Every structure is written in C-alpha cells, then in structure tokens.
Amino acid sequence: MPRDTVPIPGKIEKIEILSHDGKLDTKLEPKLPDADLRKLFRYMLFTRMLDERCLHLQRQGRIGTYGPCKGQEATPLGVAYHLRKEDWFVPSYRELSGFLWRGWPVDRYMLWWGGHEIGSSIPPEVNDTPICVPIASQVQYAAGIAWGAKLRKDGTVVACFCGDGGTSEGDFHEGMNYATVFKVPLVMIVQNNQWAISVPRHKQTASQTIAQKAVAYGIDAMIVDGNDILAVLVAAKEAIDKARNGGGPTLIEAITYRLSMHTTADDPKKYRSEAEVKSWEAKDPLPRFRDYLRKKKLLDEKIEAVMEEDIRNELDTAVAKYEQYRHDPYAMFDYMYAQMTPELARQKQELKAALGGDVAPQRETARTHG
C-alpha cells in the first residue's frame, strides 16, 4: 500500500439516557434499587444545598474564596456510586457530590475552604485523595495509585477527575500515557464544563471532542451527558468493570456546564452570555433527575420537603462543627517530617516566642486577617 488511508484505531461511544426534556431511553435505563435512586437524589440535593451554603458562608466572610460546583453534581456521583469502598476516588476540586458519597465529612469540606489543612485530611476509612489545586497534577498520582493497585493485585479501581482545561497540561498527558502503558485500572473522567475560568472549550484544544484524546493513548473513550446521572451511571459501571477486570483505562468525557462562577473571586459575566447560561440551566441535572424520580413515584413534594429540612439541619450542624474548630498555630511544624528536624524545632520556638509563649489552639475566622 504505497499510499493509503490508515484506519484510526479506537472506539468512542456516546451515551445519553435521560434527556433534559425528560425523554427516557428505557432500554438503556440502569436498573438500580429504588432506595439507591432516592439516595442518589438526596446526595445530589445535599450537594446543591451545601454548595449554596458555602457561597453564603463565603459572602459572610466565614470561609475564604469558594469554588462552587453547581450544575456538576451528577457526574462525580454517578461514578462514585459504582466504586467500592476499597476503590479510590481522586478528585480535582469540583467533585463535591462524590466526596459526600464517599463519606468525606461535611465540616472537613468547609474546613478546607476555611483555610485549614485538616480539610485535606481524608478520614482513614475513605480511599480518597484530597482536593487537588494544581490542575491535572492529580492525573499523575491517580495513575500511580492504579498502578499500585495492579501490582498489589487487590482488584481495586481508581476514578480520577479533571476539567476540560486540565487536558492541556503536560501532567494529563504523562499520567494518561503511564496509565495506558502499564494498563492500570484507571477510569479517567474529564468534566467538560465548557469553560476553564474564562477560556472556552474551543480555545483550549483544537480537537473536536475531549474523548478523542483517548486515541493518543490507544484506549477507548465514552462521551456521556454529564448532566444525566443515568448515562453517567451506565458509562461509569462499564468503565469501572472493565478496569477491575484488567481491561485497563477508559477515558470518559462528561459533557456538563459550570452554572455558577469559577470561584467567588470570578465574575463570569465578563466572558460569557446570560443566554448561554440560561440554555444550560435548562439542562440542570438536579430537576431532571427529580422529575424522573417523581415519575417513578419515588419522590414527591412532601418527601422532598422533608429531605430538604433534614439536609438543612445536617448543614447547620456541620457549620457549627466547622466553626468550633480550633487550629493549633504550631501545627505547621509538626507534619513536615515524621521526626521534626532540629532546625524546625528551633523555628517552632521562635514562633512561640513571637506569640508570647505557648498559645492555645486558635479560632481564626476568615475575617481575622485581611
């Protein structure tokens, strides 16, 4: 074949099950126990309400800058649902629904945004990694955890998340390459929410889809409507099962939208139209899932009201717990090394002297300084 077109290897599948206008593909509809469906909804709602509460706390200066996840509740939840406890959930920072599902305490989430390291301290019984700030850097350790899982032959799977913007970083590429070369049990989910702060998806990469980046690593990909939790559940299950069975990584592009600002420091009006936001509000995962469950008679206004009330109470408790937290001003020295170095011991004494001797754990609200 002196000159020929070579077929491009690989497969991209696209899955939508519950459309934003309520159309349901019953053939593809996942068959989950009713209780689970309701529980998923509760987590979705909880996420939405916690997110709102955090915005509120931020406005009152009770936490710092906050990065909301409104509109992106379905994807992390649908993925987390199919993970086992022993599996690993490796988030970026917009996977609140997944954190909650996995058992991350609510007050720890607030503590993170409130400027406390303890917010990164995942409870010992949960195999999550904390919020990861340097974009896409988590893809590298996700690949490493999954590699470790393969070496340990312990049958665990890693689900890792990043954003559409994250795919531009070298770390995304290197992590994907390692994961695929070593054929590790990794499910890589890109939450394509159309924006990386002010940079729209089409300025981020010239590829028509994010999913097709899988071709570069010789693996298959899926595109799901990331606002359709049913589609996410189906895609995630397939990818997780495949990973668990030694089939290696899958790339999932979840098409979604950041309905709110990038963070509370951001003003999205500067770079995107109201009309665009409106059009995506119509695709909001939460009402969509609610309507589905109502049709199934798993929800009604009364149940929802009780749910909301319960959640509100839980949030109140969590906020109270958050605000009771007292941090140790000297703890900065204590976790640098397993054994404190002489120099750090000396510097700890310096700080003690500066603070006028041993100071009891402090309560510093977000307003204390600045």
Partner 1 sequence: MTDVALLVDVGLSFRDDLGIGGPARLDRKQAMAQLTMVKALNLALTEVMRENPNVMMMGQDVGIDEGVFRVTEGLLKEFGEDRVVDTPLAEAGIVGSAVGLCMKGFLPVCEMQFDGFSYQAFHQVEGHVRRLRNRTRGRFTCPMVIRMPYGGGIRAIEHHSEAPEATYAHLAGLKVVLPSGPRNARALLRAAILDPDPVVVLEPKAIYRAFREEVPDAPETMPIGKGVIARPGKDVTIITYAAMVRTVLEAAEELAEEHGVDAEVVDLLSVAPIDNDLINASVRKTGRAVVVHESYRHCGVGGEIVARIVEDSLMYLEAPIKRVTGYDTIIPFFANEQNWLPSSAKVVSAALETVRF
- Which positions are annotated as active-site residues? 258, 262, 271
How many chain residues bind ligand TPP (CB under 6 A)?
15
The angle, 0 to 180 degrees and rounded to 10, between the axes of the packed helices 301-324 and 106-113 is: 60
Nearer to a second copy (CB atom), residue 18 or residue 149: 18
- C-beta separation of 114 from 324 below 8 A: no
Residue 269 binds which entry of ligand TPP, Mg ion, partner 1, none, CB below 5-8 Å type-dependent: none
Residue from 20, 48, 82, 94 that binds ligand TPP (CB under 6 A)? 94
**What are 289's two structure tokens?**
């899932």
Tokens encoding 342: 């002489």
- Tell whether residue 160 is a contact of Mg ion (CB under 5 A): no
Residue from 92, 167, 193, 227 touching Mg ion (CB under 5 A): that is 193
Q: Are strands 158-163 and 250-255 parallel, antiparallel or unpaired?
A: unpaired
252 binds ligand TPP (CB under 6 A): no
Q: Which C-beta is closer to a second copy: that of 23 or that of 278?
A: 23
Burial class (CB in 10 A: 0-12, 13-18, 19+), 168: middle
Q: Where are the beta strands (DSSP E) in 69-220?
A: 88-90, 158-163, 186-192, 195-196, 199-200
Closest residue to ligand TPP, based on beta-carbon distance:
163
Q: By rule CB under 6 A, what string of x and - marks binding of each residue 40-69 to ligand TPP? A: ------------------------------
Candidates 7-15, 94-102, 144-152, 162-170; binding stretch for Mg ion (CB under 5 A): 162-170
Residue 14 contact among ligand TPP, a second copy, partner 1, none, beta carbon within 5 to 8 Å by kind: a second copy
Largest CA-CA distance found in the chain, in angstroms, rounded: 82
Q: Does 196 bind ligand TPP (CB under 6 A)?
A: yes
Shortest distance, CB of residue 200 to ligand TPP, whole angstroms? 10
Spatial CB neighbours of 352, under 8 Å, sequence gap ≥ 6: 330, 358, 359
Of 249, 186, 243, 245, the C-alpha closest to 214 is 249
User: Interior CA angle at 130 toward 127 and 131, to 5°?
Assistant: 140
Q: Is 257 exposed, middle or buried (0-12, 13-18, 19+ CB in 10 A)?
A: buried
Residue 282's alpha-carbon distances to 12, 50, 132, 151, in angstroms, are 26, 21, 30, 45
What span, in angstroms and rounded, lies between the C-alpha atoms of 115 and 341?
25
Residue 218's binding partner, choosing from Mg ion, partner 1, a second copy, none, with beta-carbon cut-off 5 to 8 A by kind? a second copy
Q: Is 97 in the site for Mg ion (CB under 5 A)?
A: no
The interface partner of residue 120, options being Mg ion, partner 1, a second copy, none and the CB cut-off 5 to 8 Å by kind, is partner 1
In angstroms, rounded to a whole number, what is the distance separating the alpha carbons of residues 299 and 302? 8
Q: Which amino acid is at 332?
A: M
Binding residues for ligand TPP restricted to 110-169, rule: CB under 6 A: 133-135, 162-166
Which of 78, 163, 185, 249 touches Mg ion (CB under 5 A)? 163
Residues recorded for the chain: 370
Which residues contact a second copy by CB under 8 A?
Answer: 1-6, 8-17, 25, 27-28, 168-174, 177, 180-181, 183, 203-209, 211-213, 215-219, 223, 248
Could you say whether residue 91 binds ligand TPP (CB under 6 A)? no
Instruction: Indicate which of partner 1, ligand TPP, a second copy, none lies near residue 11 (CB less than 5 to 8 Å, by partner kind).
Output: a second copy
Q: Which residues in this chain contact Mg ion in the complex, by CB under 5 A?
A: 163-165, 193, 196
Q: Which residues in this chain contact ligand TPP in the complex, by CB under 6 A?
A: 94, 133-135, 162-166, 193, 195-197, 258, 262
